[in-house]
Structure 1
Amino acid sequence: MAKIKHLFYCFVIITTSIGFINHASAQDSTGIEIQNPENIIPQQYEIREVTVTGLVTGRESYLISSSGLRVGETITIPGDDISNAIKQIYRTNLFSDVQILYERFPGSLVDIEIAVEEQPRLQRYEIEGVKRSQRRDLNERLNLISGLAVTEAVKSQALNTIERYFSEEGYWNTSIDVIEEPSESNPDRVNLIFDVFRGDRIKVREINFEGNNEFSDRKLRKSFDSIKQDRWWRIFTRHVYTEEAYTEGIENLKLFYRENGYRDIRILEDSIYVDAWRHGRDGVYFNIDIDPGPQYKVRNITWEGNTVYTDEQLTQTLGFEKGDVFNESKFQQNLEINQSESDVTSLYQNIGYLFFQIMENIEIVGEDSLDLHFEIIEDEIATIREVSFTGNTKTHDDVVRRTLRTVPGNTYSRSAIIRTIRELGQLGYFTPEGITPDLRPNRQERTVDIEYGLDETQGSDNFEFSGGFGGRQIGIILAARVNFNNFSFQRMFEPGGWNPIPSGDGQKLSLGIQVTGSGFQSYNFSFTEPWLRGRPTSLGVSLSYDLLNYSNRGRSFFNTQRSGVNERNELFSASVSLGRRLDWPDDFFQQRTVLTFNHYNVDGINQFFDDGKADLLTLRQVIERNSTDSPISPSTGSKFSISAEVALPVPGFSQFYKLKTGYQHHATIVDKLVLSSTVDYGYMGYFSDNNRSNFQRFFLGGTELQQRQNFTNDNINMRGFPGGRGGVISPVNEQRNLIGGRVFSKYSLELRYPAVQSEQLQLIPYAFVDAGNTYSELENFDPFELKRAAGFGARIFLPILGLVDISYGYRLDGTSPSLQNSTGLSPGEWEFLFNIGAPF
């Protein structure tokens, strides 16, 4: 019996080895097939027992299940059952060697032994020869975890991932050596070391075109856009080749031709290669062979099926006339949907035609002419049946519902949906990108259900803490403020309402304090209810107290002549505001009325101001139109405001009146790059020459952090010039005192790009040019006599800290000498400013 068993073992080993060697007769990638060289007649056997040997880390049950050999099943020997079992085990990629041995017993029974040698397991891996940032990126891409079986397929996949990464980064001829070494901490495992030679990051030196008789190579290279030729002046553009950027550039090139009438543009051939360039350096070359085809022009435009709008109205909206070069991008945007809603589809959908359809037929006439024919199915007007929303876990439903412009029973309007998304984003409680409307039309009923998906921000409330330096005379500035932007006064008195604070009703509560090392303190409180008694009427209340306490400090900040005296300047202010949304001239307008009481206790400022107490009771009326899409960094829209403020003629109170107006416009130039322009004017007058007030004149320069200490002034922010009476822009009287202006003008241009936009952080770098001035009288106003500054800065928004604005401005003009600043501000100097809050 032992002899027979020995013969069978030998037979299995020999036949298994023959299966590995005889690759030509293999049926799959393993190259295994059991042969029958002795022409033994196959017989069926019942498996009595299955055992496993050589297994170290795996599970026997998994291995036996993978083989398909189970106790009680019938197999044929010789036959395919054994060879198939070996193949199945190999396919698990867990074993480097597999053998199946069997022993036959009387009664057609057989015992199976599966002998395996396991693949090595991974302990850890390292990537050498790369930068730390590249290693971090590769770790995110590689799917190598401890305990993974180290097979050739696993190593090959890792190599391909590393090579693809460096190819995407513009590296050529990347090579990688894989070193596999036993782990010192675990002898049953191995470490993998990827020794990377990144190759050269060769820049694109030339982009050459053939067949381009219509445009210059320079214009085509500009349209390519995604990759630029390397030139010394192009510091911030991409010069390295990647497949993704190249493919994008080819599509941009085709789009450029189509926008200029060449609908049949084809790339006949393109090649990318590395060759010698200059000074012994290599360069990447692009050769692109173009067949533009004919330039098409519009011949006839016809419409069919339109009853709501005339042919002339639709043609005007389409934006093409007979003889125009056919611009494919313009055609699609004006036909379907564009951002300004000036397209044919919006024309219908904004008045309820949700089921409107338009089919275009573009027919080529002759060699280079197009006939544009449109068939319109207007259908019937759709009505909004239900409006719902999801995702507002903190904000109460009524706060969302009152913001909606789509109301059940109203006619469907695409414009109303866009407006709703904008205004929900303006609340600051939801991420604008996360507001997604889901339309569920019912063609039979001629109705539509709308559901808005909301993505609630994690931190609409914030705590602001900041510090800055206000200059030699002001010193260190420290400020802290807590803003509850989604407060709920009602929930303060409800069980469980403090979790951790009452919130959800859209009310705004703010508490702040500001101090400096030179004796300034400021405390303020404000509360706003945006919807009073369920109506679009806002009610606001604010209280503040400011104290300047300079005692025995010699030459003080305000007083340049007295020394050794106590100077205590105080301001108590209280205001009530009432505002409401208007429907005329359009529903972007709103008006606000503000009644403010200011009590001043002024001591020893200088001879221009009188010591003692003064009171102001002012009434200010503001009309504003705001169509911007974001309170922090608008990308589209405009904002216009005009205000009139009157210091009421109460006996014993100071009296004056002010007129202010401002306009700002925001437009996206390309991608996310935004250009903003602002213009502001102000005028201050008096009812008579006998009651002129010395308070609240216009001063330009600095930030709100600095300006709060000058509470006797009306301070206008301006970058590049510091705050404080010694640095601001102001007229000077005969005694060389800064007296403030009765007229001011300010202009600003800002170019910004939102570099980071997420719930946790918004980073918005910008470049700016500011110009402005103040004038003692209206007859002195000169729009060309301006103080200018240019520079750069950034706005940083963190949910817990709010918005921080830092700027670094270069003064192009100086200011006049004064008693407060004997030399004035010199031109050609940089000024760093720090502020909290949104400028828009």
Structure 2
Amino acid sequence: MLNLLKRILIAAVLTLSCTPFLAQAQEFQITDPTGTAPAEYQIADVQVQGNERTRSQFIINASSLNIGSDIIYPGDAISTAVERLYRSGLFSDIKIYVTEQTATEISLLIEVEEQPRILEYKLKNIKRSQRRDLEDIITLTPGTVVSDAAVGRVKNTIKRFYKEKGYWYTEIDTEIKEVEDANDRVRVIFNIDAGDRLEVKDIEFNGNEAFSNRKLRRKIKPLKEDAWWKIFGKKVFKEEDFEEGKESVLSFYRANGYTDVRILKDSVYTYDYKGDKEGIKVLLNIEEGPKYKVRNITFDGNTVYEDATLREALGFQKGDVFNQQKFEENVNINKDNTDLNSLYQNVGYLFFQAIPNIEKVAEDSLDIHFDIYEDEIATIKNVDFTGNTRTHDDVVRRTLRTVPGNKYSRSAIIRTIRELGTLGFFDPQGIEPDVRPNRQDKTVDVTYRLDDTESTSNFELSGGYGGSGIGVIISTRVNFNNFSLQRALKKEGWNPIPMGDGQQLSLGVQVTGTGYQSYSFGFSEPWFRGRPTSVGFNVSYDFYNSRRSSFNVNSKYSLFSSNISIGRRLKWPDDYFSQRTVIGYQLYNIEGSSGALSAGNSNLFTIRQVIERNSLDNFISPNTGSKFTFSAEAAPPLPGFSEFYKFRADYQHHVPLVDRLVMTTQVQYGYIGYFTKDKRSELNRFLVGGTQLQQRQSFLYDNIDLRGYPGSTTESIGHVVDGRKIGGRMFSKYSLELRYPAVTNDQVQIIPYTFTDAGNSYLDFNTFDPFSVKRSVGVGVRLYLPILGLIDLSYGYRLDGVNVPNSTNDVQPGQWEFLFNIGAPF
């Protein structure tokens, strides 16, 4: 009995001295430490019990009670070891026993009870769509330990998910159920009460005097307040929207001169806004501060530019309201590349610094002083590029505007990025310049990181119905936009397509169900003999044979056309200009009659001169830039040839608005005249309506696309003379388009848009009226696939009608017209 009491006393003393987690193994004989002072011991042995899935050595290492290490006992070494093991999350119970103790050594036993492991987890009481979304973000995989930390992380993830969707009062209960015959695996069940999805019913501002609550509510977007007329979508509260909205309000104030504005306090809480209906109220207490105006702007240290030039770049004059956003942009970088930094960096001063000092004077004025550190001009030392796996180096190198030995220029880098993007061989969003300056020797290295597009060649195959009198349309075209003729002449070059030299090769076929066929072949070299001179040729054959015609029975006509072109870049008025000369030959063969066109053969020898200025950043869906094209074409009255002369002008402008929304305006005019009265022909006159795919007789006329209107010869916008539709000698066309690139990546581009079009053709100057037009409005979408190219689908609503000769079925206003086309409209 005495020995038993002694053993109980020793166990109690050990437990009190080593934390509540310690206990003594009753089967081991140990030395009684009672009354002894803490001493240093070396761990002689460590044993582990109770572990089935966790390695013993891992447990020993995690506890830091390694054999051979020294510990103070009694002390906190063992209790600390228990805490370490608990923090691993692998165990539900841990005990450490002292099994043997001598004057210098100690032996230990670690006994653990392992946490169960997960077989699976279930999310209950929620919608299927929410369950799928949660399963994508919850990281709780089978086989992991069921720990409080792991379960807590999942619950936090679920609450955060519902909070981001505007839910309040989300509650989660957890059940852990054992599964039979599952090798100690458990099922974790999360019973979810999503709570209430509350809407923002009131946004209130206090302390605002300069701007009304209504004005500030419009500026706190993307956070929105609910109202009875806002029927689309719930106006829920999201934390990220709230933070972004607060910053938008502050930016609005700062843009209007209130530099000292701050939000003193913000509150978000629920309240009963109508009976027992609960909503969210947002309250912001604002301190506006004074409205500052610019008084003096001074510079010190500038030698390259005078003060007046720098003030103009800064964009502020004395007395102007201080706009902080405008100030920061015009100092560092703005979209027009006219800021102070660009002003210097465009002429080589890469290491330029403009350090502003803004001093508040009086109560509402600012004095702005700049310390200018111009430094020396930086020279481009090395220029490199990476990522062009499908395009040869010389194609990239000839596009670069940054050349070793030249002065550094930010505008040259921006221009290079644009030029590389418009080649069509690289993803414009993936072109990144890596600028590495060396301040010591005043040089800079530039590397362009390129991202090849998925495919620079495409196979276009489309079909549709062109309306009454046209029938089924089938069109196919193969475009090799990065072709290499040099590699094509080598057997090993076909792997699978000879490519890499930036040349263009295209073959096309179009067939309609009413007897129209078109075949074309073209090739162009943008850099002939290593110079920025483009050379190309094109051959096409169009044929139409119909036994049913609005004008005659058994009408038949064809066109053989060929041309060669040569063009070059211009440096004046600026280097966005280019010119192109096209020399062509056309042979028309008309049997019977077609409208006002006489039967017989017509030969045309044409010379066309084109002047173009193109600053578009993207030819598929431009975001910025403009394009102006003027062409003058002449078919001189040679013996045996028909004659005419023609002028066309086209101007388009693209302006980014907000959130990737782009507005495009376009204006087109054209005129055709004749040198003589004897050899004039009605060929190449203007018909307006439809698209090129619907305009089956486009080779007889100069057809102008107009959405919302059909494209057949009888239904196009022209003139009826002696009961027959003829083309006009003049035309005008106006377009306004708003488009939003919803999806833009290597695999697909989806660009929905809305439009309004207006256009007309006129017999001559006497009937020309630029405001007498046929109008349409509608919607459309452009789809770009690397294999199929660009497809344009539009659905236009006509506001005006068109007279169809010899028919009671005129093209009526107030109707919709579906059209489709292939190729970029810009």
TM-score between both structures, scaled by the size of structure 2:
0.93
1:670 aligns with 2:658: yes
Uncovered stretches (5+) of structure 1, i.e. residues with no partner: 24-33
Q: Contact 1:546–1:570 at 8 Å: present in 2 too? A: yes
Q: Offset of 1:433 from its aligned partner?
A: 2.2
Partner of 1:619: 607
Q: Contact 2:642–2:680 at 8 Å: present in 1 too? A: yes
> Structure 2: how far apart are the matches of 1:817 and 1:546?
25
Task: Return closer, same or farther for 1:496/1:14 CA change in 2, 3 Å cut-off.
Answer: farther
> Per-residue displacement from partner, 1:450-481 (whole Å, max 9, x unpaired)?
22222222222222222222113222222222
1:781 aligns with 2:781: no
> Structure 2: how far apart are the matches of 1:810 and 1:77?
91
Q: How many residues end up aligned between the 2 structures?
A: 819
> Structure 2: how far apart are the matches of 1:320 and 1:433?
33
> Per-residue displacement from partner, 1:597-638 (whole Å, max 9, x unpaired)?
223333345352233433333221111000111111111111
> Structure 1: how far apart are the matches of 2:628 and 2:331?
31
> Which segment is superposed worse, 54-63 or 367-376?
54-63
Q: Offset of 1:335 from its aligned partner?
A: 2.2
Q: Contact 1:9–1:101 at 8 Å: present in 2 too? A: no
Q: Offset of 1:281 from its aligned partner?
A: 3.5
Partner of 2:702: 714
1:122 aligns with 2:118: yes
1:720-735 aligned within 5 A? 720-735=708-723
Partner of 2:443: 447
Q: Alignment partner of 1:309: what SS?
A: coil
Q: Alignment partner of 1:64: what SS?
A: helix
1:335-346 aligned within 5 A? 335-346=331-342
> Structure 2: how far apart are the matches of 1:10 and 1:57?
35
> Per-residue displacement from partner, 1:480-516 (whole Å, max 9, x unpaired)?
2222211111122346423321111111122222223
Q: 1:635 aligns with which of 623, 626, 635?
A: 623
CA RMSD of aligned residues (A): 3.0
1:598 aligns with 2:586: yes
Q: Alignment partner of 1:670: what SS?
A: coil
Q: Alignment partner of 1:732: what SS?
A: strand
Q: 2:51 aligns with which of 39, 51, 55?
A: 55
Task: Return closer, same or farther for 1:278/1:85 CA change in 2, 3 Å cut-off.
Answer: closer
Partner of 1:302: 298
> Structure 2: how far apart are the matches of 1:273 and 1:62?
49
1:395 aligns with 2:395: no
> Per-residue displacement from partner, 1:264-318 (whole Å, max 9, x unpaired)?
1121222112222347533221221111111111122222222222222222222
Partner of 1:505: 501
Partner of 1:195: 191
Q: Alignment partner of 1:704: what SS?
A: coil
1:818 aligns with 2:801: no
Q: Alignment partner of 2:407: what SS?
A: coil
Q: 1:374 aligns with which of 349, 357, 370?
A: 370
Q: Offset of 1:574 from its aligned partner?
A: 2.0
Amino acid at match of 2:448: Y
> Structure 1: how far apart are the matches of 2:810 and 2:181?
72
Amino acid at match of 1:710: S
Task: Return closer, same or farther for 1:84/1:572 CA change in 2, 3 Å cut-off.
Answer: same
> Structure 2: how far apart are the matches of 1:625 and 1:362?
42
Q: Contact 2:270–2:278 at 8 Å: present in 1 too? A: yes
1:205 aligns with 2:201: yes
Q: Contact 2:696–2:712 at 8 Å: present in 1 too? A: no
> Structure 2: how far apart are the matches of 1:5 and 1:625?
105
Q: Contact 1:228–1:237 at 8 Å: present in 2 too? A: no
1:609 aligns with 2:597: yes
> Structure 2: how far apart are the matches of 1:10 and 1:597?
117
Q: 2:511 aligns with which of 512, 515, 535?
A: 515
Partner of 2:677: 689
Q: 1:829 aligns with which of 806, 812, 815?
A: 815
Partner of 1:140: 136
> Structure 1: how far apart are the matches of 2:3 and 2:510?
99
> Structure 1: how far apart are the matches of 2:611 and 2:31?
95
Partner of 1:315: 311
Amino acid at match of 1:759: D
Partner of 1:484: 480
Q: Alignment partner of 2:402: what SS?
A: coil
Partner of 1:761: 748
Partner of 1:744: 731
> Structure 2: how far apart are the matches of 1:237 and 1:676?
29
Partner of 1:772: 759
> Structure 2: how far apart are the matches of 1:36 and 1:98?
23
Uncovered stretches (5+) of structure 2, i.e. residues with no partner: 23-29
Q: Offset of 1:535 from its aligned partner?
A: 0.5
1:94 aligns with 2:90: yes
> Structure 2: how far apart are the matches of 1:592 and 1:373?
50
Q: Contact 2:632–2:648 at 8 Å: present in 1 too? A: yes
> Structure 2: how far apart are the matches of 1:603 and 1:383?
68
Q: Offset of 1:587 from its aligned partner?
A: 0.3
1:253-402 aligned within 5 A? 253-278=249-274, 281-402=277-398
> Per-residue displacement from partner, 1:215-249 (whole Å, max 9, x unpaired)?
22222122222222223444568722111111111
> Structure 2: how far apart are the matches of 1:607 and 1:298?
69
> Structure 1: how far apart are the matches of 2:766 and 2:32?
115
Amino acid at match of 2:776: A
Q: Offset of 1:678 from its aligned partner?
A: 0.2
> Structure 1: how far apart are the matches of 2:61 and 2:13?
25
Amino acid at match of 1:606: S
Amino acid at match of 1:619: I
> Structure 2: how far apart are the matches of 1:77 and 1:839?
85
Q: Offset of 1:758 from its aligned partner?
A: 1.6
Q: Contact 1:521–1:547 at 8 Å: present in 2 too? A: yes
Task: Return closer, same or farther for 1:40/1:481 CA change in 2, 3 Å cut-off.
Answer: farther
Amino acid at match of 2:816: W
> Which segment is superposed worse, 477-486 or 714-723?
477-486
Amino acid at match of 2:139: N
1:532 aligns with 2:528: yes
1:222 aligns with 2:204: no
Amino acid at match of 2:732: S
> Structure 2: how far apart are the matches of 1:448 and 1:391?
21
Q: Contact 1:13–1:99 at 8 Å: present in 2 too? A: no
Amino acid at match of 1:754: P
> Structure 2: how far apart are the matches of 1:809 and 1:185?
66
> Which segment is superposed worse, 290-299 or 307-316?
307-316
> Structure 1: how far apart are the matches of 2:68 and 2:299?
78
Q: Alignment partner of 1:256: what SS?
A: helix
Partner of 1:29: none
Q: Contact 1:357–1:378 at 8 Å: present in 2 too? A: yes
1:7-26 aligned within 5 A? 21=20
Partner of 1:28: none
Q: 1:432 aligns with which of 428, 434, 440?
A: 428
Task: Return closer, same or farther for 1:100/1:468 CA change in 2, 3 Å cut-off.
Answer: same
Q: Contact 1:12–1:102 at 8 Å: present in 2 too? A: no
Q: Offset of 1:354 from its aligned partner?
A: 1.7
> Structure 1: how far apart are the matches of 2:727 and 2:762?
8
Q: Offset of 1:769 from its aligned partner?
A: 0.7
> Which segment is superposed worse, 255-264 or 450-459?
450-459
> Structure 2: how far apart are the matches of 1:593 and 1:696?
19
Task: Return closer, same or farther for 1:702/1:130 CA change in 2, 3 Å cut-off.
Answer: farther
Amino acid at match of 2:660: K
Q: Offset of 1:12 from its aligned partner?
A: 6.8
Q: Alignment partner of 2:248: what SS?
A: helix
> Structure 2: how far apart are the matches of 1:35 and 1:603?
123
> Per-residue displacement from partner, 1:790-838 (whole Å, max 9, x unpaired)?
111111212222112111111111112323x532211111111122211
Q: Alignment partner of 2:581: what SS?
A: strand
Q: Alignment partner of 1:633: what SS?
A: coil
Q: Offset of 1:81 from its aligned partner?
A: 4.5
> Structure 2: how far apart are the matches of 1:410 and 1:191?
69
